[in-house]
Amino acid sequence: MESSQTLKPGMAKESIADLLRRHEINPTHQRVEIAQVLFERCEHLSADQIISHVNARFAETSKATVYNTLKLFLEKKLIRELIIDPNKVVYDPNTTPHHHFYDVATGRLTDIPADNIRIGTLPALPPGTVSDGVDIIIRTRPAA
């Protein structure tokens, strides 16, 4: 299982295309552009920000395609979805297990490597269900 976190910021378009292919995603021009925006910055971006970045030089990708593509990337587990801000979903190119600080004043999101948090005993899951992952969000605010 290849992992996206091996990507370097300067990764070439060809590598991006390969990454998509390894995740069973047909690397169209638009999909490569969107993946590039996500993996070059390696930040937590909203759909809106992605649309802006992709179309910064000149309009080349529609809103519908960006939403379609993000959903596809999610299905193929190339990226993660974070539901933290009530107004917008943000997408996380880092699919390794990790958690987040969320500054309630600024909205800023910061990664926390999974090894920095140790969870003791997980409680018994509701009957008939299995775990699909654990999300931990530590809300922070400016000191004093």
Strand partners, 82: 90
Task: Decide whether 69 or 94 has the Cβ nearer to Zn ion.
Answer: 94
Q: How far is CA 20 from the centre of its chain?
A: 15
User: Taking CB under 7 A as the criterion, which residues in 46-75 touch DNA?
Assistant: 46-48, 59-65, 67-69, 71
Site string for Zn ion, 80-119 (x = CB under 5 A): ------------x-x----------------x--------
Q: How far apart are CA 19 and CA 35, in angstroms?
A: 9
Task: Decide whether 47 or 109 has the Cβ nearer to DNA.
Answer: 47
**Nearest distance, CB of residue 44 and Mn ion, angstroms:** 22
Q: How far apart are CA 17 and CA 110, in angstroms?
A: 28
**Nearest distance, CB of residue 66 and Mn ion, angstroms:** 13
**Nearest distance, CB of residue 73 and a copy of itself, angstroms:** 16
> What size, in residues, is the chain?
144
Report phi then psi at 100, rounded to 5: -145, 140
How large is the greatest C-alpha to C-alpha distance in the chain, in angstroms? 52
User: Is residue 144 helix, strand or coil?
Assistant: coil
Q: Which does 99 bind (CB under 5 to 8 A by kind): DNA, Zn ion, Mn ion, none?
A: none
Task: Decide whether 6 or 87 has the Cβ nearer to DNA.
Answer: 87
Q: Is 108 in the site for DNA (CB under 7 A)?
A: no
Name the residue among 95, 108, 93 with its Cα closest to residue 139. Answer: 108
Question: How many binding residues for Mn ion (CB under 5 A)?
Answer: 1
